[in-house]
């Protein structure tokens, strides 16, 4: 039996899904967190049934591609669980009436039931069940209340005989509402004032700036503390002795030694430089990137679950519009600051080909992932604003300018924003931590193999002399345009695999501040890592991906060269 | 009768007509917003940015051009 979870966006389908199936899916407080169809299993009376989390829809008449996919799924289902937001009954019932038309066994999970008293709504649930001829089960998915009851009632669900004509649908909704719901809106509560203030320009823009600043400060403080007090001691006190012991077993300067442990510096392990699989290969993803990835997702989750993210989207909509995007495109960009892969996946939130192309290209060019940023902090941190500041300001300007140009060049339309703004909610910490750990686990699964592969290839290229040949071949570009030593080409080749690793390869070259800045910007811009590239290839198709790659390479050459010559004037 | 764009912030109005295409009408209808519905204007962003309205318990950001196509009677 196939059981479907269907409902409006942001009514908590994914939370209900987590409760029912035990499979972890990510949920947030904004519409469109689930862009993919998630499948899991649920056991009822010892029988296993497939459970499907359908992306949110407002109506069974599709208005975009993503909705079409969701709506096509409905006919596959054997039982429909209609997840309804009790605080927004009117809109939910419009969909419920349409679902009834499918003539399938249906049951309503009346979610967020705990919130209705708070905002002055009361619902006569028994009457609602009777009128709709559908069993309505009040639940609070976040705490799990009512979920068992819901599960027990699934086998007894039946199709409803509620009859209406399509033209009369909203009238029917109105009729039902007037009978089952009484509203005593509390006017101008403090919460409402706060909600409104965060979307008014005069108060909202300063608030957005403060939120972003606090976000990045928190990420740095949490990430740095984790490194200083946990990961660094862990590697130095526990891992180094093991590695040195191993180093004694397989003699120094043999190929196996170079591969596993790398070069020792003064008989000690230098995790940044040694380039062994078990030293740099593990230290880069776990010791220096993971703490920042964790910190980033923790802070981002607070923003997602509190409901601030859609408000931020509204506040930046006017700027994004100048780049052929709309406010919602802030979500792929923010997610991309963590890791470009989820960022690239979330471009599905956007509707048209033009928007997807622009968002993906901008993401690849000018949104450095946390892995790259963490390594840049390490490499340029000592120069302060002069180093990191120039890199980030350059990337931001590139982001603006390329967006502005692409909007004019790329054919197609960019629709206006049309976005529901959810109420603020206090993040539910258990759910939030689960989400953070799901994402961190995902990062480890993606990153560690690629870094290890990268270290392996770097070693092979180096020992076989291929690196030398490539370096000679690309010398003119690196030396004359970008002002970098020709050896830097090796790092950029590695950047195809993992950018954090590439930074590691730049370190031993003892570059000047100017060269470090240019190399960082070029590394961030020229190409997304392999994992992101493969996702984008799937999302955009070969033709658009080739075009996008062309944009990346050309803009990198121009920006790198210009930056190099500006810095020669400025820094010398 | 004014457009939602011109409507003053902090005012309530009843929708008298939606002059957009079927697409816009459908999207708004899905939110429960159609002729006769009561809406409250929360704010309007600068630089031709979106307009934010409230209907019942739903808050919605709509584009500048959409806001121009929705007519309301202020109450």
| Domain total of chain A | 2
* A210/A128 same-domain check: no
What CATH number is given for B2-74 in this structure?
2.30.30.90
* A119/A241 same-domain check: no
Q: How many residues make up chain B in this entry?
A: 75
H-type alpha helices, A83-200:
89-100, 113-116, 125-132, 147-153, 169-180, 190-197
* A321/A456 same-domain check: yes
B48 touches chain A (CB under 8 A): yes
| Chain A: closest CA distance from residue B19 (Å) | 16
Q: Alpha-carbon Rg of chain A, whole angstroms?
A: 27
E strand or H helix at B13, and its extent? strand B12-18
Q: Give, in order, the Cα–Cα distances in Å from A559 to each of A393, A394, A480, A524, A553.
A: 13, 9, 14, 11, 10
- Of A183, A210, A244, the one marking the end of a domain is A183
Could you say which of B23, B30, B66 has the minimum Cβ distance to residue A59? Answer: B30
A418·B62 Cβ contact <8 A: yes
Residue range B16-29: mean pLDDT, rounded: 87
| Chain A: closest CA distance from residue B26 (Å) | 8
In whole numbers, what is the pLDDT of chain A averaged over residues?
88
Model confidence pLDDT, tens digit, residues A240-278: 999 999 988 888 778 888 888 888 888 888 887 788 889
A63·B27 Cβ contact <8 A: yes
* A426/A367 same-domain check: yes
Q: Give, in order, the Cα–Cα distances in Å from A406 to each of A356, A361, A411, A545, A551.
A: 12, 9, 9, 14, 9
- What pLDDT does residue B26 have? 86
pLDDT at residue A325 above 90?
A: yes
| Residue A192 resides in a domain | no
Burial string for A95-127 (b: 16+ CB within 10 Å, else e) reads: bbbbbbebebbbbbbbbbbbbbeebebebebee
Model confidence pLDDT, tens digit, residues A510-561: 889 999 999 999 999 998 888 888 888 888 999 999 999 999 999 999 999 9
* A110/A217 same-domain check: no
Q: Determine contact, residues A86/A138, Cβ cutoff 8 Å.
A: yes
| Residue A52 resides in a domain | yes
Model confidence pLDDT, tens digit, residues A75-87: 989 999 999 999 8
Q: How far apart are CA A451 and CA A458, in angstroms?
A: 10
Tokens of A320: 């994004």
| Residue A497 resides in a domain | yes
Q: Is residue B70 helix, strand or coil?
A: strand
* A179/A328 same-domain check: no
* A141/A221 same-domain check: no
Q: How far apart are CA A395 and CA A337, in angstroms?
A: 12
* A148/A271 same-domain check: no
pLDDT at residue A474 above 80?
A: yes
A314 touches chain B (CB under 8 A): yes
- What pLDDT does residue A535 have? 84
Query: Which residues of chain B lie closer than 8 angstroms to A90, CB-CB?
Result: 32, 56
Model confidence pLDDT, tens digit, residues A428-458: 787 788 888 888 887 888 778 888 888 888 8
- Of A183, A216, A242, the one marking the end of a domain is A183
| Residue A238 resides in a domain | yes
Q: What residue in A sits closest to B49 (Cα-Cα)?
A: A318
- What pLDDT does residue A403 have? 95
CATH number, domain containing residue A117: 3.40.50.300
Model confidence pLDDT, tens digit, residues A178-227: 999 988 866 667 778 888 899 999 999 999 999 999 998 998 899 989 99
| Residue A190 resides in a domain | no
A318·B46 Cβ contact <8 A: yes
pLDDT > 90 fraction of chain A, expressed in percent and rounded = 41
State which residues form the domain around A9. 2-183
| Residue A193 resides in a domain | no
Q: How far apart are CA A97 and CA A172, in angstroms?
A: 9
| Residue A8 resides in a domain | yes
- What pLDDT does residue A26 have? 66
Q: What residue in B sits closest to A119 (Cα-Cα)?
A: B57
- What pLDDT does residue A25 have? 65
**CB-based burial of residue A445 (10 Å sphere; 0-12 exposed, 13-18 middle, 19+ buried)?**
exposed
* A259/A384 same-domain check: yes
- What pLDDT does residue A35 have? 63
| Residue A75 resides in a domain | yes
A170 touches chain B (CB under 8 A): yes
pLDDT at residue A43 above 80?
A: yes
**What is the CB-side half-sphere exposure of residue A285 using CA atoms within 13 A?**
23
- Of A155, A183, A211, the one marking the end of a domain is A183
Q: How far apart are CA B75 and CA A310, in angstroms?
A: 29
Query: Which residues of chain B lie closer than 8 angstroms to A119, CB-CB?
Result: 57
- What pLDDT does residue A96 have? 95
- What pLDDT does residue A40 have? 85
Q: How far apart are CA A108 and CA A129, in angstroms?
A: 9
B50·A416 Cβ contact <8 A: yes
SS (H, E, C) A225-286: HHHHHHHHHHHHHHHHHHHHHHHHHCCCCCHHHHHHCECCECCECCCCCCECCCCHHHHHHH
Task: Place A13 in a pLDDT band, splitting at 50, 70 and 90.
Answer: confident
User: Whole-structure pTM over 0.90, yes or no?
Assistant: no
Task: Place A285 in a pLDDT band, splitting at 50, 70 and 90.
Answer: confident
pLDDT at residue A65 above 90?
A: no
pLDDT > 70 fraction of chain A, expressed in percent and rounded = 96
A61 touches chain B (CB under 8 A): yes
């Amino acid at each position: 039996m196939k059981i479907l979870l269907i409902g409006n966006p942001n009514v908590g389908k994914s939370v209900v899904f987590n409760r029912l199936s035990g499979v972890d899916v990510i949920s947030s407080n904004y519409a469109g967190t689930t862009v993919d169809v998630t499948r899991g299993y649920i056991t009822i009376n010892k029988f296993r049934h497939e459970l499907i989390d359908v992306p949110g829809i407002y109506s069974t008449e599709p208005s975009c591609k993503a909705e079409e996919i969701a709506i096509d799924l409905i006919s596959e289902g054997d039982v429909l669980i209609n997840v309804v937001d009790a605080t927004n009954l009117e809109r939910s019932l419009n969909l419920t009436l349409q679902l009834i038309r499918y003539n399938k066994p249906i049951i309503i999970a009346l979610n967020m039931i705990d919130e209705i008293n708070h905002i002055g709504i009361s619902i006569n649930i028994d009457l609602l069940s009777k009128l709709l001829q559908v069993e309505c089960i009040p639940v609070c998915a976040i705490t799990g209340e009512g979920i068992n009851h819901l599960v027990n009632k699934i086998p007894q669900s039946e199709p409803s005989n509620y009859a209406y004509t399509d033209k009369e649908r909203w009238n029917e909704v109105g009729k039902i509402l007037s009978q089952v719901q009484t509203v005593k809106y509390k006017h101008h509560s403090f919460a409402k004032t706060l909600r409104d203030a965060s979307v008014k320009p005069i108060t909202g823009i300063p608030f957005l700036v403060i939120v972003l600043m606090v976000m990045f400060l928190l990420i740095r403080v949490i990430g740095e503390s984790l490194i200083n007090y946990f990961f660094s001691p862990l590697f130095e006190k526990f891992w180094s002795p093991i590695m040195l012991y191993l180093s004694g077993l397989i003699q120094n300067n043999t190929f196996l030694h170079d591969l596993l442990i790398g070069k020792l510096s003064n008989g000690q392990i230098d995790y940044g430089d040694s380039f062994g699989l078990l030293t740099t290969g593990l230290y880069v993803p776990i010791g220096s990137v993971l703490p920042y990835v964790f910190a980033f997702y923790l802070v981002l989750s607070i923003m997602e679950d509190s409901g601030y993210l859609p408000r931020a989207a509204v506040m930046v909509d006017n700027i994004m519009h100048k780049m052929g995007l709309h406010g919602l495109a802030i979500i792929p960009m923010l997610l991309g600051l963590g890791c470009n892969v989820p960022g690239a996946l979330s471009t599905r939130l956007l509707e048209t080909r033009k928007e997807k192309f622009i968002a993906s290209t901008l993401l690849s060019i000018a949104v450095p992932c946390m892995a790259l940023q963490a390594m840049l902090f390490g490499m340029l941190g000592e120069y302060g604003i002069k180093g990191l500041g120039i890199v980030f300001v350059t990337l931001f300007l590139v982001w603006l300018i390329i967006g502005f140009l692409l909007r004019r060049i790329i054919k197609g339309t960019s629709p206006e924003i049309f976005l529901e703004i959810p109420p603020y909610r206090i993040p539910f910490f258990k759910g939030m931590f689960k989400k953070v750990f799901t994402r961190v686990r995902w990062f480890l699964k993606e990153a560690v193999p690629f870094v290890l592969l990268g270290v392996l290839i770097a070693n092979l290229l180096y020992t076989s002399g291929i690196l030398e040949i490539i370096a000679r071949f690309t010398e003119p570009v690196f030396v004359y345009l970008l002002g970098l030593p020709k050896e830097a080409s090796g790092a950029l080749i590695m950047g195809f695999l993992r950018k954090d690793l590439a930074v590691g390869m730049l370190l031993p070259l003892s570059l000047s501040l100017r060269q470090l800045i240019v190399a960082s910007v070029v590394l961030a811009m020229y190409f997304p890592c392999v994992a992101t590239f493969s996702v984008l290839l799937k999302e955009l198709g070969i033709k658009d991906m080739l075009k996008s790659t062309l944009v990346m390479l050309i803009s990198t050459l121009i920006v790198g060269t210009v930056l190099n010559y500006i810095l020669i004037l400025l820094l010398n | 009768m004014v457009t939602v764009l011109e409507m003053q912030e902090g005012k309530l109005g009843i929708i008298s007509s939606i002059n957009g295409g079927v697409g816009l009408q459908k999207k708004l209808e899905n939110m429960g917003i159609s002729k006769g519905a009561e809406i409250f204007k929360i704010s309007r962003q600068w630089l031709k940015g979106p307009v934010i309205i409230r209907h019942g318990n739903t808050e919605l950001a709509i584009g500048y051009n959409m806001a121009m196509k929705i007519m309301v009677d202020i109450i």
